[in-house]
Amino acid sequence: MTPHIAYHLSEPHSDLNPVRWLTIQGRTGANPLSVHQRFEFPSHTLNLRQGSLTFWLLSLEDTSTTCPPPSMGMNNPNNGVRSLLSDSRYLTDFNRSHFSMEWIDYWHPGVQVRHFAGSFYPGAYTDRYRAICKTVGFRWEKMHWNQFAYTWDHHAGEMYLYVNGIRMGSSDRMTRDYDVESAGDVLYSGGIPSMVYSDLAFYDRCMSDRDVASRYSEEVRIPDADYNRNLARHYAGIGNPAFSFEPDDRWEQKIHLPLSSPEDLSSFYLQGHREAVRSEADGLHVRTPTIPYWKVVTEPENTEKQVYLWLLPWLEGHLYAEFEFKPMREGGLMLFMAQCSGFWGEDFMQDYPRKTSGKMTTVFGEDVRNYHWECWRDMNDTRNDVSSHGLIKQPYGIPLAHGTQTRPTQLGAWNRLQFLQKGEIIRGAINGEEVFHAVDRSFTGTGTCLNRGHLAIRCMVNTDLYLRNFKVWNHLEGVQISSPA
């Protein structure tokens, strides 16, 4: 396929001086020396109803999520959003652009493309859905070329993101009708001195998955099979290993709840919208109100219509938990919280007044340490063309792992969730397929490796699902507990 418009940044030329021209892994690109140094592209195809673009980028640094203190924005208040390609000449201020491909210095969404002015929240979520395409986290591994591709067909209501020929992100699969703001006549890039920019191409038709993979194969200079294999597992679920675990006699079973009788509810504390939870013969039924997501973002009272199910038993040591869930409708989100404790390791449900709000802040913005696994997410602010997963250490906001499965979770079917933590190693699986294998560290400025606390399930608005067969084991290694005679 021949590009409709092409810009060859792999060929040094004086128009872009002063820059450094760097050749890495067989490809040459332009490296700007200042945040004020821009590259201009005077024409493009972004205002066509369908089309594609490809852009080669390389980072000179390993770059991932951080939790920046306010002082880090002293000279660049928007340093957490890096514009890779924009219709605004002010690359350090993403709010001025009506089109932007950007990387966000936060655990979610990672790389995104938007066709409107403003931020991800609340910009994409108004009474009219706005055109946005996002992925499941992205970290830059230094000295690796990434060919990003973006394809759009606004007639069909579909947008997709790719890296090295692998689909990495999508627009909301349940929203085909969205608003698209026109991009400016001129596009800009550059301004990141830790980045190297190479060839940019625009096409006047929407490439297929196969077309994108073919373009990558034709243009890559020195492919890195291991790097691309990791991308394929991360974003496409290709190569996920099988998972199995059976606790031996060193493990003590602490919880076994069929969740088929009202008595089982006495093992939980319900925080938030308690009316969403009821016991039924098929299992514990959680059904939160149906509310358009833009009303959750813009009307604070709707954030309370979500619910936490806290298991009351306190747990210590290595942890294995499993349960089954059956989603009944599209558009919801369930997350699992493990090893939830206060910052001194205390039982926050015993030592302090119990929390009552259904807001997400208990997960990420209060005094509760936890491992936060988004294990079923179908909402329109997440990637939902596949089953996507994220494991985040909270409240530090540090993603420990992301993963995918090749297709969305099947509605009306039982699915088995398994969570295993042995010290610093954390693994998660759905239906016997491992979706992440994470490593936590105690001495990296994000708190200790968590090993005690409560478990919880949180369901957001638009969720309708059943839960059953909740089982939990602990293994407190190297400790003997004695009680006074």
Tally of domains within the chain: 2
Q: How many CB atoms are located within 10 Å of the residue 189 CB?
A: 24
Residue 288 shares a structural domain with residue 187: no
Whether 362 and 408 share a structural domain: yes
What CATH number corresponds to the domain at position 393? 2.60.120.200
Q: Is residue 414 part of a domain?
A: yes
The token duo for 75 is 């000279």
Residue 158 belongs to a domain: yes
Answer whether residue 481 is part of any domain.
Answer: no
Say whether both 314 and 394 belong to one domain.
yes
The structure tokens 């929240």 sit at 121
Is 246 among the domain residues? no
The span from the CA of 275 to the CA of 290, in Å, is 13
Q: Are residues 257 and 306 in the same domain?
A: yes
Of the residues 204, 236, 268, which one is the last residue of a structural domain? 236
Of 59-68, 211-220, 343-352, the least confident? 59-68
Report residue 355's pLDDT band, with 50, 70 and 90 as the boundaries.
Answer: very high
User: Tell me, what's the pLDDT at 129?
Assistant: 82
For the chain, give the mean pLDDT.
93
Residue 136: which pLDDT band, with cuts at 50, 70 and 90?
confident
Q: Which of 176, 205, 236 is a domain's end point?
A: 236
Domain assignment of residue 103, yes or no: yes
- Look at residue 317 in the predicted model and tell me its pLDDT: 96
Shared domain check, 453 and 402 = yes
Range of the domain at 295: 252-475
Q: Does some domain include residue 484?
A: no
The percent of residues in the chain predicted with pLDDT above 70, rounded, is 98
Do residues 292 and 158 both lie within one domain? no
Domain boundary among the residues 176, 201, 236 is at 236
Q: Is the pTM of this model over 0.85?
A: yes
The reply to whether 215 and 140 lie within a common domain is yes
| Residue at 242 is within a domain | no
> What string of DSSP letters covers 25-75?
TTEEEEEESSTT-EEEE---STTSSEEEEEEEEEESS-B------GGGGSS
Indicate the pLDDT class of residue 257, thresholds 50, 70 and 90. Answer: very high
* 59 in the same domain as 170: yes
Mean pLDDT within 20-27:
96
Same domain, 282 and 161: no
How open is the CA angle 234-245-237, to the nearest 5 degrees? 15
Same domain, 165 and 207: yes
* pLDDT value, residue 163: 98
Both 308 and 365 in a single domain? yes
Same domain? 225 vs 297: no
- 241 domain residue, yes or no: no
Task: Map residue 147 onto helix, strand or coil.
Answer: strand
